[in-house]
Amino acid sequence: MVLGGGMAALSAVYDLTAPANPRRDEFQITVYQLGWRLGGKGASGRNLDPAFGGRIEEHGLHNLFGFYDNTFRLLRGCYDELARPRSHPLAGWRDAVAPESSAVFLEPVNGEHVPWRVYNPANDHEPGTGGALLPLWDTVVLALEFIDLNWASSVRARTPPLPGDGAPHPRAALLPVAALVYAAARALLGLRQASRVVAERVPFGMMLRTGAVRVGELALATALRRARALVWRAAAPGVVAGRDHDARRRWIGFNFGTSIMIGLLEDGALRRGLDSINEHDFRAWLTPRVHDDGGRTLDSVLMRVMYDSSFAYEDGDTRIPPGARYAPGANYEAGTLLRGLLRASFTYKGAFGWKLNGGTGDVLFAPLYELLRRRGVEFRFFHQVTALRASPGPAGRCVDAVEIARQATPRGRYEPLVEVEGVGCWPSQPRYEQLLEGDALQRQRVDLEDPRAPWEPPARFTLRRGDDFDAVILGISLGALPGICSELIDQSPRWRAMIKHVKTTRTQAAQLWIDRPVRDAGARDGEARGQPITGFWYSEASPLNVWADMSHLLAHEPWRGPSRPRHVSYFVSPMVDPPVFEGAERARATVRSDLETLVAEHGAATVYRGLDESAFPWRALVDGRDEAGEGAARLDAQYVRANTAPSERYVLSVAGSSRYRLPAHSPEEFTNLYLAGDWTRNGLNCGAMESAVLSGRLAAHALSGYPSRAEIIGLELCEA
């Protein structure tokens, strides 16, 4: 039995039932899912109210990054096996995603938000194929292209080519430099290999090698510090004056990058592993290595992106107290952050990021559902797990029983998907017409995805080991585990330590539909290419500071009539935990208030500067209701979401927490229990789609031996 239907659980089921798995016929699999849809924190729905045009409504902002090899392997394999006809809007994986190679940061400079758009060069590799690392030559050229696109060419209006453009990469002028860097890198790799041979064959060789490497690390760190000081001496006049944005950004990027390298060398983390520095928060670890530039690097938008991109704030608290330089709640363990940063920067394939051509549910979870059903997997929707019961005793402990509350009664086999523009999609509400309790659920507006909702389930029952299941894959997210796994936690010190040290936070999200086009924030003059992957901007007034232009989704939303929008924005951020329990409606009102503050006070001056108006034009918000609102009341026709239910809470990587994460399987803990979730020890150990897929693959490996650890892409680069 599989408890939960998020990406981690479905990834495990995908591998357990894979045609290449030699044990696939040994498994009879049933997935028990709260509510009416799959996806977990990645779920999306379609609003079928005619006033809202079948629009996509997400739990948050979801993109795939180019280093998500295991996720793309699953995506590609799913679409290939479904073999949809070419006429289908999502026939193949290339129809499901689109490459995007830029992001935009809106820097607060002298009281204004100045766009800083970062370009990442494309490459010719396909995500989900080959190993995790690119060939050394390609990595060198990629790094040089990044420098050329963002700094050497900053005075030119250039748009980087994307995969499939047919446009040549700007490599010709870089090839001589790339050849020199490549030769140097090959020489260093050769010396490293030679030192290994000496260490293995010469008496005391390992001791000599370790000592020599340590001396070399410290000498190189010292040399970097001195070289950086010379660079600052030359760059300081332009940076301090504040008028040259390119000069400031070049310096911040240089100081940030060299500080990371100095820290890795001084701590021997490249040799000892990145987990060796996980006891430190990243900012605290980096601060002594940064060249003093008056706080320009440590307080830069680049530093804040490291935290905001992963909601890395304890208790969701992004507030900066008066007189402070950054939010005290910011907390992200250094090794985990750097592993993700290095993977994202140097191992991406095709493009740095890939946007989904539809809702996450449309593109990922509906195809997976169709494929897994075809493979014989059973899905039980409206089944809320209320408790796992464990057998007593320290030896041979196992999960003996699972208690279930059936939230609603289907009139037959529940069919969860609806067709929108030829694509199977999850609706934003249950298909009430298929439920015996449908009228009451709809009338009372019960949220079946929130276990705290005031609704008495029509049935409760217990599933027992030996009769109903043999093994359990627990794919429910961390925030819900204290409520349903109390017996496991009571019996296991390791479970208690994980619950104590691995933290979660609430998040909030909003989507706005606008009836006029908006020029891309940070786009260069004459640049007409599509939207950036995402954007970051900062305001003391509102925490909703991670933004994305998602206007490409309008082609997948069946709007009709004169109210058709021409722009869509998504906003997400952490959400502060209240001191006392806060109901769902009150939490949603908080998001609505944050959104109004953001749009009213800063909308026209930041992401919507292309509207060319001094104040945000409320009439631009699409409101298809019979009695459309006026002014800020039109926000009521937009979409806001407070992710406050226990299983919706985002999993953090606070300093020192990774060592408390549990692996996919611990036979000495509970013999028949397998864990799948981005909260497990999965190698990346952060809240990300790839972390979830990695964890699912590790659970499938622990249960069936397939895939082998060698087949899990990038696992050799992790410490799992």
Residues 587 and 701 in one domain: no
- The DSSP secondary structure of 386-430, one letter per residue, reads EEEEE--SSSS--EEEEEEEE---BSSS----EEETTEEE-BSS-
Q: Tell whether 587 is covered by a domain.
A: yes
CA nearest neighbour of 652 among 683, 692, 682, 688: 688
Does 517 share its domain with 494? Answer: no
Distance CA 292, CA 178 (A): 31
pLDDT at 714 over 80: yes
Closest listed residue to residue 291, CA positions, set 236, 216, 214: 236
Same domain, 593 and 519: yes
Same domain, residue pair 525 and 598: yes
pLDDT-wise least confident of 140-144, 160-164, 471-475: 160-164
CA-based angle 535:149:688, to the nearest 5?
40
Do the Cβ atoms of 478 and 695 come closer than 8 Å? no
Query: Exposed (0-12), middle (13-18) or buried (19+): which is 245, by Cβ within 10 Å?
Result: middle
**Residue reference for tokens 């370009």:** 119
pLDDT of amino acid 181: 59
Integer angstrom CA distances of residue 49 from 122, 431, 447, 623:
40, 13, 17, 12
Mean pLDDT of 287-308: 94
- Could you write out the DSSP letters of every residue in 666-685? -TTT-TTEEE-STTS--SS-
Q: Indicate the number of domains in the chain.
A: 2
Chain segment 527-562, per-residue pLDDT in tens: 444 455 567 666 666 788 888 889 999 999 999 877
Q: Under DSSP, is residue 32 helix (H, G, I), strand (E, B) or coil?
A: strand
Give the pLDDT band of residue 192 (cuts 50, 70, 90): low
Q: Return mean pLDDT, the chain.
A: 89
In the block, residue with structure tokens 């204004």: 112
Distance CA(478)–CA(502), nearest Å, equals: 9
CA dihedral 568, 58, 634, 560 (to 10 degrees): 60
pLDDT score recorded for residue 539: 61
What are the Cα distances from residue 119, in Å, to 106, 139, 524?
A: 14, 16, 11
- Has residue 75 been placed in a domain? no
Distance, in Å, from the CA atom of 353 to the CA atom of 688, rounded to the nearest integer, reads 13
Whether residue 512 is found in the same domain as residue 637: yes
Both 412 and 530 in one domain: the answer is no
CA–CA separation, 470 and 682 (whole Å): 24
With beta carbons less than 8 A apart as the criterion, state whether 4 and 33 touch.
yes
**Residue 425 within any structural domain of the chain:** yes
Q: Based on the fold, state whether residues 517 and 630 are members of the same structural domain.
A: yes
Give the pLDDT confidence of 2-46 residue by residue, as tens digits: 999 999 999 999 999 999 999 999 999 999 999 999 999 999 999
| CA 117/CA 568 separation, integer angstroms | 19
Is there a single domain that holds both residue 512 and residue 629? yes
Shared domain for 511 and 639, answered yes or no, is yes
Distance CA 131, CA 713 (A): 6
Higher pLDDT, 164 or 344: 344
CATH number for the domain spanning 401: value is 3.50.50.60
Tell which residue, 19, 21, 14, has the closest CA to residue 38.
Answer: 14
E strands, 563-629, are: 567-575
Length of the chain: 720
Does residue 106 form part of some domain? no
Separation between Cα atoms, residue 28 and residue 295, nearest integer Å = 58
Question: What is the rounded distance in angstroms from the CA atom of residue 93 to the CA atom of residue 72?
Answer: 9
- Domain that includes residue 575, residue range: 504-646
Largest CA distance in the chain: 85
Residue 590 near residue 583 (C-beta atoms within 8 A): no
Could you tell me which of 502, 535, 547 has the C-alpha nearest to residue 657?
Answer: 502
Contacts of 627 (CB under 8 A, 6+ apart): none
What the block records as the tokens of 252 is 């911040």
pLDDT per residue as tens digits for the range 341-392:
999 999 999 999 999 999 999 999 999 999 999 999 999 999 999 999 998 7
For residue range 393-440, what is the model confidence (pLDDT) as tens digits? 655 699 999 999 999 999 999 999 999 999 999 999 999 999 999 999
Does 446 map to a domain?
yes
Query: How does DSSP classify residue 73?
Result: H
659 residue type, one letter: R
Give the containing element (helix H, strand E) for 442.
helix 438-444
pLDDT in tens, 397-406: 999 999 999 9
Q: Are residues 616 and 668 in the same domain?
A: no
Give the full edge-to-edge strand order of the sheet including 399-406.
383-390, 399-406, 459-464
Domain boundary among 646, 676, 692: 646
Query: Residue 439 falls within a domain, yes or no?
Result: yes
Retrieve residue 293's tokens.
Answer: 């530039």
Residue 458 belongs to some domain of the structure = yes
- Per-residue pLDDT at 244: 84
| Beta strands 97-100 and 546-549, pairing class | unpaired
Question: pLDDT of 641-650, one tens digit each?
Answer: 999 999 999 9
Lowest mean pLDDT among 328-332, 453-457, 579-583: 579-583
User: Does residue 511 share a domain with residue 496?
Assistant: no
Q: What tokens does 30 get?
A: 């049933």
Q: Is 420 inside a domain boundary? A: yes
Mean pLDDT, residues 141-147: 87
- Tens digits of residue pLDDT in 204-241: 555 555 677 788 889 999 999 999 999 999 999 988 88
Task: Specify which residues 118 forms β-bridges with.
Answer: 103
Q: Which domain-ending residue is among 616, 646, 676?
A: 646
Distance CA 508, CA 501 (A): 23
Alpha carbon separation from 526 to 268, 320, 519, 529, 697 (Å, rounded): 46, 37, 11, 9, 45
> What 3-state DSSP class applies to 37?
coil
d(CA 182, CA 195): 20
Enter the DSSP assignment of 333: B
What are the tens digits of pLDDT across the range 85-125?
999 999 999 999 999 888 888 888 887 778 888 889 999 99
β-strands 2-3, 30-32 pairing:
parallel
User: At residue 378, what are phi and psi to the nearest 5 degrees?
Assistant: -95, 140
Pairing of strands 399-406, 383-390: antiparallel
DSSP state of 313: B
What distance in Å separates the CA atoms of residue 48 and residue 548, rounded to the nearest whole number?
24
Q: Which of 646, 672, 696 is the last residue of a domain?
A: 646
H-helix or E-strand spanning residue 514 = strand 504-514
Structure token digits, residue 533: 């992957």
Residue predicted with more confidence, 580 or 15: 15
Rounded CA gap, 266 and 253, in Å?
20
Lowest mean pLDDT among 119-123, 185-189, 306-310: 185-189
Mean pLDDT of 324-353: 94
Residues 550 and 574 reside in one and the same domain: yes
Residue 76: per-residue pLDDT: 98
- Three-state DSSP at 534 gives coil
CB-count burial class (<10 Å; 0-12, 13-18, 19+) for 110:
exposed
- 235-253 pLDDT tens trace: 999 888 877 888 899 999 9
More confident site: 451 or 149: 451
Helices and strands (H, E) in the chain, number of each type? 19, 23
Query: Over the Cα atoms of the chain, what is R_g?
Result: 26
- Residues 523, 117 contacting (CB under 8 angstroms): yes
